[in-house]
Structure 1
């Protein structure tokens, strides 16, 4: 048995994708419809800056296929603060805006921290305790992307594991990469795309990421990644989410589709 494997991009409205990823003269209002039929997940980034009405969330739900999943980037008002323990009101406002209208198409919520935010154990523990297990009868899953080297320690890994929160694995030149699996799912952001490569990543790199995704989904532990702890997590199937984001964004859709082709190829 393995968990579900979802591969996608960040957002769906990006001008350079027009007449490139999207067909020539494709209607802008139908870009989500097109994108959701060529990748299997999208990380919504606009929610970092703005809130949306329940009708917007419901409209997105109805536009995409049944097996499609949205990850949702949490509001900056929750994470860009000196004292995370004081974010309770902002967290409640964010999760209460209507995102549960996505229903079964709601994937993980991504809580991304500034690169200047250091690991302060008591404050981070208090923040993780603020993350709700559900909202209006819909189960919520949480992933945190930390971007300061001080988080690369066993205390943080154990803290996230105790909270059932996934630590995002970021393939990045700028931020620490923590490959330890801490939650019931895996969330990876592939941020090193290069425009010189048609798919952003080389074929060899895509082969390696396909193998890593299969291992994660089956409960395994890919070799060659940076781990904080020596001990592996319990071996169990895990839903796995892989997003091509940042880097050479122009290449993100092609990279996601190339990875999906590898994952869907006969064994």
Structure 2
């Protein structure tokens, strides 16, 4: 059975989207619900910078319809450290802050590493062993976003595959576009939207992303997020991809 393709943006609070994506007069507290009505996922950045309350996750879950999912970016205290193998306490704090309150709205956890972080096979293996498979009875899926060219290495891909972690495919000018092995789901961060293009990417580029997503959905769920670049165009890009996938 084919996986589900979910398409989204980064977060939902961004002032320039008001009057462009969000209709004039929409209350800020209703913006997440609006995202839920028009897109199928969002990537949460707030969890990278600080711990959230269980009630916050519960409220997010209530605001969106069935099938919508939140990809949660892991805390920087887990990934921005010299020795990754010493992140156990930070990882435990992150996964136990209340993300289980999202229930079936919980998508993958995104573990994002600094562009200066280089691949060290032993340290990275130690880090991956710390990633839990479940929390509070809820299964966890992990996606690894690495930004240094040293990770373009069969040893890294093998480590990720062995623990069932997806390797994030990044469309970016500066980061390597690494394609991982099939682990049952895939994760794309599309970061080259342009302001002079109404849908961020051209129609031909959107069609190419749709083709890539369809191909990968044969192996499991697909998550595609329009992030960064000309951020004001991200919702239009996401909506265009959803249309192209129909």
Are 1:249 and 2:231 matched, yes or no?
A: yes
- Structure 2 distance, partners of 1:242, 1:208, is 13
- 1:181 deviates by 2.6
- 1:183 deviates by 2.1
Matches within 5 A, 1:128-167: 128-167=128-167
- Structure 2 distance, partners of 1:84, 1:73, is 17
- Structure 1 distance, partners of 2:33, 2:159, is 39
What's the CA shift string for 1:7-57, capped at 9, x where partnerless?
000000000001110000110011001011110000001110011100000
- Structure 2 distance, partners of 1:76, 1:184, is 26
Matches within 5 A, 1:235-246: 237-246=219-228
Are 1:79 and 2:61 matched, yes or no?
A: no
Are 1:55 and 2:55 matched, yes or no?
A: yes
- Structure 2 distance, partners of 1:187, 1:63, is 23
In the alignment, what sits opposite 1:29? 29
Q: Report the aligned-residue RMSD.
A: 0.7
Q: Is the 8 A contact 2:11 2:43 kept in 1?
A: yes
- Structure 2 distance, partners of 1:129, 1:148, is 21
- Structure 2 distance, partners of 1:98, 1:2, is 30
- Is the partner of 1:241 in helix, strand or coil? strand
Q: Is the 8 A contact 2:149 2:175 kept in 1?
A: yes
Taking structure 2 as the reference length, what is the TM-score of the superposition? 0.99
Are 1:179 and 2:179 matched, yes or no?
A: yes
Mind listing any 5+ residue stretches in structure 1 that lack a counterpart? 219-236
- Is the partner of 2:37 in helix, strand or coil? coil
Q: Is the 8 A contact 2:88 2:130 kept in 1?
A: yes
The alpha-carbon distance between structure 1 residues 158 and 182, as it changes in their structure 2 partners (threshold 3 A), is farther
In the alignment, what sits opposite 2:41? 41
- Is the partner of 1:252 in helix, strand or coil? helix
- 1:180 deviates by 2.5
Mind listing any 5+ residue stretches in structure 2 that lack a counterpart? none
Aligned length, in residue pairs: 246
- 1:182 deviates by 4.4
- Structure 2 distance, partners of 1:51, 1:32, is 19
- Is the partner of 1:37 in helix, strand or coil? helix
- Structure 1 distance, partners of 2:229, 2:134, is 33
In the alignment, what sits opposite 1:208? 208
